[in-house]
Amino acid sequence: MSFLVLVRHGQSTWNLKKRFTGWVDVDLTEQGKMEAERAGLLIKNQNINIDFYYSSFQLRANNTLKIIQKILNSKKDFIKAWQLNERHYGELTGLNKIETAKKIGEDKVFEFRRSWDIRPGKLSRESSYHPLNIETYKNIPNEFIPDTESLKDTYNRVLGYFKKEIQPKLHNKNILISAHGNSIRSLCKYLFNLDNDQITNLEIPTGNPLIIKLSDNLKISECRYLDEDRSKNLLVF
């Protein structure tokens, strides 16, 4: 038996401003820090010893994890993987979601945000928002840095890493992943065998740990959001 805990980072500064964030490296708001603290307390109350911690390369997920680890009194190093990054939103990066919906229509924005295999237009490599121009990603080979991504692209990136580096450890270890809405949606599609329509409607709340109990053969025996007050009207498996 083992446990996998998935936590979307707490509210970020661009979440608050309703901007498409993707690979841009923004930090948590004060509310986001409080969400991370509550997530840490909820996990602590489960009395689970976490053996490995994973996060993306991105500040908002890293700092969420650091707050959680502080509450858990864990001094273990966590493993950073760019493959767990948020989906790259291409030319939508930095735009306000509400203003963009007014310009191109709510249906089109929803299609870009939630469809399985539709990519927004490519982000110019001259943009300051492009990962090539962000210090965080300087050691990632250029061929792995996207100009835009669909959810399908994100799924393939996340799952390739998960299957190789994380899943084998779940046979007898407990793992916590602090990541992003679309990287966690990708993991949920795989873990719960969701079809493309289900993944379109899947909501991942900020700072609400999803705890998954696995049997010895890695079959899911139980799962639930720990903050029950914020799990209403969500697709809980």
Q: Say yes or no to pLDDT of 237 above 80.
A: no
Which residues fall within 8 angstroms of residue 145, CB to CB, at 6 or more apart? 131, 132, 137
Q: Say yes or no to pLDDT of 159 above 60.
A: yes
Which pTM value belongs to this model? Answer: 0.95
DSSP strand pairing (210-214 vs 2-8): antiparallel
Structure token pair of residue 68: 């959680």
Tell me the fold of 17-27+52-150+172-182: Rossmann fold (3.40.50)
Percent of the chain with pLDDT over 90: 83
Phi-psi region of 50 (alpha: psi -120 to 50; beta: other; left: phi over 0): beta
The active-site residue out of 35, 37, 86, 88 is 86
Q: Say yes or no to pLDDT of 29 above 90.
A: yes
Q: Give the pLDDT confidence of 77-97 residue by residue, as tens digits.
A: 999 999 999 999 999 999 999
Q: Which uninterrupted H or E stretch holds 155?
A: helix 151-161
Q: Say yes or no to pLDDT of 236 above 60.
A: no
Cα dihedral sign for 50, 181, 223, 214?
negative
User: Which one has a higher pLDDT value, 110 or 72?
Assistant: 72
Q: Give the pLDDT confidence of 175-227 residue by residue, as tens digits.
A: 999 999 999 999 999 999 999 888 888 889 999 999 999 998 888 999 999 99
Give the pLDDT confidence score for residue 103 in this predicted structure: 84
Mean pLDDT of the chain: 93
Q: Is 86 one of the catalytic residues?
A: yes
Q: Is 9 one of the catalytic residues?
A: yes
